[in-house]
Amino acid sequence: MKLCMIGTGYVGLVSGTCFADIGNQVICVDKNLDKIKKLKSGISPIYEPGLNELIKKNYLAKRLSFTSDIKHALNSSDIIFICVGTPTKKGSLNVDLSYVNKCCKEILKYTKNKKILVTKSTVPVGTGDVIEKILKKKRRLFTVISNPEFLREGEAIRDFRYPDRIVIGSNEKKIFKTMRRLYSPLINKGSKFFTTSRRGAELIKYASNAFLATKITFINELANLCEKSGVNIEDISLGIGSDSRIGGRFLRAGPAYGGSCFPKDTKGLVSTAKKHKINLSVVKSVIKSNSERVNLLTYRIHKILGSNLKNKRISFLGVTFKPNTDDMRDSTSLKMIPYLSKKGAIINYYDPSGEKREFKNVKNCSFKNNIKNNCFDANLIILLTEWDEFKTIDFKKIVKNKNFKVYDLRNLYNIDEMKRNKIQYYSVGRPLSN
């Protein structure tokens, strides 16, 4: 099939490349000329394991191409996927649909032949109806459907190839057949193909993310209780997660949830519900608890290092919101590092995905190019993101400061081993006496 992906970010680029890899002809279009230039020279503008190789393979096979010319991209395709960002509007909980709306206006302006228009972007329930209104002048040319994306950064290619389910929302039943054909290589490998109304699909995406955010927040709050009551949170996760009604995933205590989806989608769901005069009090509490978690973690840093942080050397291992991605959106580090810098701490950080422009103007904050340079003079090492290369650090060997401490926000290290090595070690919801 001939596909056009509008927006070559984490979703558009990964799904476009993977669609090409299963035999489709795909044009990826982006208004960011830098991104297109990079892609044309064979470099992925985002860090995602395996993506560079897959782009090259499909580009050379002439199944995948890149352009900033939306008119050309639209008119060379039968199915158009909208994959642009849907962030939170500044100063509110509302979803900013301006990128989607702008994209639709361009589609309206340039499209000549009949198309299926698919929202892959996460959009509030009812957005498909709004899109249809924008397109009303040429309504006969378009069928607007919803196909939300569930891939996770860092595991995006695998998630695209083996999704738990493919959700298609349409008010026109005949479209399901076309979409089933498009996804048939994945369905044949066992992925569930789930059809519903367009509004249903739009809401499934928000409901999924809000539920997962709730699970994380629930276990994080229980970790606080574990710390006070001398229980190991990992026993709780295993004990409740072994119940198939609950399920073991998303029950790892850690920092606040972040990333490009959970923070904005929980807010988006609450604001959409409000427009329908529905109070989603559970999701509201999740948002509040998660935002308070960063304060709790900084309070703990003070407990570890004392109230005066002036000239204390703090080294961060990982600053992205999760491993195997370069995405910084809503990472806990964005709040923690500026706070600690304001308190006079001297911050080093190392992240395998490279230096971050977000910290360029933060006082006394430097990027180090490896674990050793990052940690050798630290008073406190904070493990924030569980990249694989952090799993086996011999802290005693690399840190010269005798009284250094480790605060492990991902429970990556073994408590007994830390004890044996006489390292002052703190983690999340795990009492030292266990």
Ligand X SMILES: NC(=O)c1ccc[n+]([C@@H]2O[C@H](COP(=O)([O-])OP(=O)(O)OC[C@H]3O[C@@H](n4cnc5c(N)ncnc54)[C@H](O)[C@@H]3O)[C@@H](O)[C@H]2O)c1
Comparing CB distances to ligand X, the nearer of 55 and 305 is 55
Per CB under 6 A, which of residues 322..381 are in contact with ligand X? none
Give the strand pairing for 25-29 and 64-67.
parallel
The only residue of 31, 38, 284, 343 in contact with ligand X, by rule CB under 6 A? 31
Give the strand pairing for 365-367 and 405-408.
unpaired
Among 310, 342, 315, 297, which residue's Cα sits nearest to residue 404? 315
The only residue of 17, 44, 67, 122 in contact with ligand X, by rule CB under 6 A? 122
Q: Name the 3-class secondary structure at 306.
A: coil
The only residue of 260, 348, 353, 427 in contact with ligand X, by rule CB under 6 A? 260
Any contact of residue 252 with ligand X (CB under 6 A)? no
Among 33, 210, 22, which residue's Cα sits nearest to residue 122? 210
The only residue of 17, 51, 81, 85 in contact with ligand X, by rule CB under 6 A? 85
- Of the candidate spans 2-10, 296-304, 309-317, 369-377, the one that interacts with ligand X by CB under 6 A turns out to be 2-10
- Report residue 387: phi and psi, to 5°: -65, 150
CA atoms within 13 A on the CB side of 429: 23
- Of the candidate spans 4-12, 36-44, 348-356, 403-411, the one that interacts with ligand X by CB under 6 A turns out to be 4-12
Q: How far is the CB of 368 from ligand X (least distance, A)?
A: 27
Find the residue with minimal CB distance to ligand X: 9
Q: How far is the CB of 293 from ligand X (least distance, A)?
A: 21
Q: What is the dihedral of CA 62, 63, 65, 71, to 10 degrees?
A: 120
Distance, in Å, from the CA atom of 164 to the CA atom of 150, rounded to the nearest integer, reads 9
Q: Which amino acid is at 340?
A: L
Distance, in Å, from the CA atom of 427 to the CA atom of 326, rounded to the nearest integer, reads 24
The only residue of 44, 65, 86, 348 in contact with ligand X, by rule CB under 6 A? 86
- Whole-angstrom CA distances from 214 to 70, 107, 150, 232, 276 are 39, 37, 17, 20, 22
The only residue of 3, 9, 16, 428 in contact with ligand X, by rule CB under 6 A? 9
Comparing CB distances to ligand X, the nearer of 321 and 413 is 321
Any contact of residue 98 with ligand X (CB under 6 A)? no
- Of the candidate spans 25-33, 233-241, 340-348, 423-431, the one that interacts with ligand X by CB under 6 A turns out to be 25-33
Comparing CB distances to ligand X, the nearer of 31 and 57 is 31
Question: Are the C-beta atoms of residues 147 and 166 closer than 8 Å to each other?
Answer: yes
Any contact of residue 10 with ligand X (CB under 6 A)? yes
Question: Are the C-beta atoms of residues 408 and 428 closer than 8 Å to each other?
Answer: yes
261 flagged as catalytic: yes
Binding residues for ligand X, how many (CB under 6 A)? 27
Q: How far is the CB of 146 from ligand X (least distance, A)?
A: 12
- Whole-angstrom CA distances from 290 to 56, 112, 221, 256, 354 are 40, 47, 9, 5, 27
- Of the candidate spans 7-15, 52-60, 299-307, 385-393, the one that interacts with ligand X by CB under 6 A turns out to be 7-15
Any contact of residue 146 with ligand X (CB under 6 A)? no
Catalytic residue among 4, 261, 365, 375: 261
Q: How far is the CB of 122 from ligand X (least distance, A)?
A: 4
Any contact of residue 203 with ligand X (CB under 6 A)? no
The only residue of 3, 4, 6, 210 in contact with ligand X, by rule CB under 6 A? 6
- Of the candidate spans 101-109, 196-204, 284-292, 307-315, the one that interacts with ligand X by CB under 6 A turns out to be 101-109
DSSP calls for 237-299: HHHHHTSTTT-STT----S---SSSHHHHHHHHHHHHHHTT---HHHHHHHHHHHHHHHHHHH
**What is residue 121's DSSP assignment?**
S
Contact mark string toward ligand X, 209..248, x via CB under 6 A: ----------------------------------------
Q: Which two tokens stand for residue 378?
A: 């630290």
Any contact of residue 7 with ligand X (CB under 6 A)? yes
Any contact of residue 408 with ligand X (CB under 6 A)? no
Residues whose CB is less than 8 angstroms from the CB of residue 341 and which lie 6 or more positions away in sequence, other chains included: 347, 362, 363, 364, 365
Any contact of residue 159 with ligand X (CB under 6 A)? no
CA atoms within 13 A on the CB side of 424: 13
Question: Are the C-beta atoms of residues 341 and 375 closer than 8 Å to each other?
Answer: no
Any contact of residue 5 with ligand X (CB under 6 A)? no
Comparing CB distances to ligand X, the nearer of 272 and 411 is 272
Q: What is the dihedral of CA 264, 265, 266, 268, to 10 degrees?
A: 90
Catalytic positions are: 261
* Contact residues: ligand X, CB under 6 A: 6-12, 29-32, 35, 83-86, 99, 102-103, 106, 121-122, 149, 151, 153, 260-261
